Amino acid sequence: MASLDNTGWSVPGLLVALLLVFELGVLRICGLEVTTGKVSRVEAMNGSTVLLPCNYSSCIGIYNLYFSWHYNDNGTMIKLCDGVVPSEGVEPKVKVEHKRVEFVGSSKSRDISILLWNITFEDDGEYTCFAKNPKEKGRNHSTIFTLRVVDEMTVIDNTLTVIIVSVLAGVIGLVIIVMIIKALVVQFLLKDDEKNKECLVNASGNDNTENGLTGAKADNKGTPKA
């Protein structure tokens, strides 16, 4: 008969519960995650080619990782491509379902990015990168990348930045000049002080010598002749 603790839990039941909590915690912390990196939004010109980035990660590892890209067309999700990564380091089998889409990812870098060629204004919108890992009991994750298609790129006015950088450079240059002048003045004063000390020492030695000779002459004159 299984023993019970004060809460009424059996020891095996408590161990199973602890293991379940631990497993869920590990999956939450180290489980599958997909990301577009530091940039989740890009602005591109009509007719250009744009990269839609996506990377996956999992400290638990993957097995038959399924991934897909979808475009949100006013609420209707249109599949662009999908594929399966059999295991770590094995290149995926990809099925592309859009004539202007090219898969450029690699399992070696855990990359499932795609290229969208010759974009038009109809391509403007949100793109979802989705992944599912059977090794983590079907855990899945997704991320959204936003594409804005424009006639011309937005010109960023850097006038204020240039002014600030110029002022800072001027202030730093002025500080450096002041420090150099200060160092030169201090060096000049030290040399002048050393010269003054040498003059004082020489003058003091000359005075002592002259005083000694005068005293000797005085002593000679004061000695009576026999």
Q: Count CB atoms within 10 A of the CB of residue 27.
A: 16
User: What pLDDT, in 10s, does the model give residues 193-215?
Assistant: 776 666 666 666 655 555 554 44
**Domain spans of the chain, in order of start:** 29-150, 156-204
- Mean pLDDT over residues 146-156, rounded? 81
Fold observed for domain 29-150: Immunoglobulin-like (2.60.40)
Strands in 97-188 per DSSP E: 101-103, 114-116, 125-133, 139-150
Coil, helix or strand at residue 167: helix
User: What distance in Å separates the CA atoms of residue 131 and residue 155, rounded to the nearest whole number?
Assistant: 36
pLDDT, tens only, 177-196: 988 998 888 887 877 777 66
pLDDT tens-digit profile of 83-102? 999 999 999 999 999 999 99
- Report CA-CA distances (Å) from 64 to 107, 114, 211: 12, 19, 108
